[in-house]
Amino acid sequence: MLKSRLLVILAFMFILFTGPVRAQNSPIRIACVGNSITQGFGLENPDSDSYPAQLAGILGGNYEVRNFGQAGRTLLKKGDFPYWDTDSLGFKDALGFNPDKVIIMLGSNDTRNPNWSFKEEFIPDYIALIDTFAQLSSKPQIFICQPPPIFQPLFGLNDSLLTNEVLLLIDSVASAKALPLIDVYSLMLPFQQHFFDGVHPDPQGAQMVAANVAAAMLSTKIQNEGIEFSQNPVNFELYQNYPNPFNPSTTLTFFVGRASDVSLNIFNLLGERIKTLVDSRQAAGEVQIKWNGTNSAGHPVSSGIYLYRLKIGKEVKTRKMMLTR
């Protein structure tokens, strides 16, 4: 009897301190929340070409990605078509999915009249949406996306409002909730040709969005996995590569405040190390390294988004870059 009670107590303590146990081989559930851009509006085969579908292909079988995008929907509760009111393959189903990760990309339709007259409620409504997902038993990790540009004023959408107001408010929400922010807007700004109607991405544009989302998710994982923080951190910085996007080569620049052991590695979206650019002790100062788009064997790598990670001692910084061949 004593042994049985002890086993019960130990089991309870294990759950208490480690959290719920995922079933063996159970995939990580990802809910993609959004409007018609997420849904794959206008694509001939949204089940394979929408960004959530292509995200599933990038991440592989350990992930279950579901598309909860609904056309025309607003983040604002008082908008003309609030996302809050959707059920089948929308808000209610996304909650019922009990996801482990949530990708939110809303805000474009809020620029349509008369929706933006309720702009004072945008931040409270966004935080309420985040909190609703955060309260799920799965305790999901939540990512916020800046929507892509509005190249044409389709359906009354307004890129000026998106650029000058909505994006700033989304950034404020991400800061207030300390959540990762995925900047789809800046990524897609040079690629108007991949928006067939000026608002919705074509299959290649959706692939770029998917790769950017996957890169952000993987960047967070790589940055947080197994990293201990030093009590005496080195002053260092990792800058954005230039040019970006690039073909065939780009320059990576970092700064080290004092002489330190430095490693600079490139990863693909599967988390596989492609190449080590630096693995040595570096003197204090700025360092520039050129990458010619090849792997450790000297073979050219394919087009896509790659992560470059700078590790100094026990501290890490990660950025992403795009190779276009």
- Among 224, 254, 279, which residue terminates a domain? 224
Listed in sequence order, the residues at least 6 apart from 224 whose beta carbon sits closer than 8 Å to its beta carbon are none
Question: How far is residue 179's CA from residue 211's CA, in Å, rounded to a whole number?
Answer: 19
CA dist 71 and 153 (Å) reads 16
Hey, what are 195's tokens?
């928006």
Look at residue 205 and tell me if it is in a domain.
yes
The per-residue pLDDT for 15 is 36
Which pLDDT does position 34 carry in this prediction? Answer: 98
Residues 84 and 192 in one domain: yes
Residue 162 belongs to some domain of the structure = yes
> Are 42 and 181 within one domain?
yes
Task: Give the residues across from 266 on adjacent strands.
Answer: 275, 308
Q: Are residues 210 and 259 in the same domain?
A: no
Contact 314, 228 (CB under 8 A): yes
Domain-embedded: residue 273? yes
| Whether residue 257 sits in one domain with residue 194 | no
Give the CATH number of the domain where residue 93 resides: 3.40.50.1110
What pLDDT is stored for residue 314 in this prediction? Answer: 73
pLDDT in the model for residue 228: 41
Q: Are residues 202 and 65 located together in one domain of the fold?
A: yes
In this structure, is residue 44 part of a structural domain?
Answer: yes
Q: Does 260 lie in the same domain as 294? A: yes
Q: Is residue 2 part of a domain?
A: no
**104 and 209 inside one domain:** yes
Q: What is the C-alpha separation between 209 and 92, in angstroms, rounded?
A: 24
Domain boundary residue among 224, 244, 276?
224
Examine residue 6 and state whether it is found in any structural domain, yes or no.
no
Tokens encoding 221: 């994982």
Query: What separation in angstroms does the CA of 240 have from each of 85, 161, 284, 308?
Result: 40, 27, 19, 10
Nearest-5° Cα angle at 24, 62 to 139: 70
d(CA 289, CA 147): 32
Low-confidence ranges of the chain (pLDDT < 50): 1-21, 222, 224-232
Q: Cβ(122)–Cβ(79) under 8 Å?
A: no
In a shared domain, residues 69 and 184:
yes
Q: What CATH number has the domain bearing residue 241?
A: 2.60.40.4070
Same domain, 250 and 309: yes
Report how many domains make up the chain.
Answer: 2
Q: What percent of the chain has pLDDT over 90?
A: 61
pTM beyond 0.75: the answer is no
Decide if 186 is inside a domain.
yes
247 and 122 assigned to the same domain: no
Q: Which two tokens stand for residue 183?
A: 């900047």
* Same domain as 203, residue 66: yes
* Cis previous bond, 114, omega within 30: yes
The dihedral of CA 59, 246, 294, 264: what is its sign? negative
- Please, is 69 exposed, middle or buried when counting C-beta atoms within 10 Å of its C-beta (0-12, 13-18, 19+)? buried
The conformation of residue 301, written as its DSSP 8-state character, comes to P
Residue 220: the pLDDT is: 58
Tell me, yes or no, whether 140 and 92 share the same domain.
yes
Residue ending a domain, choose from 224, 248, 277: 224
Residue 58's domain comprises 23-224
Let me know if residue 17 belongs to a domain: no
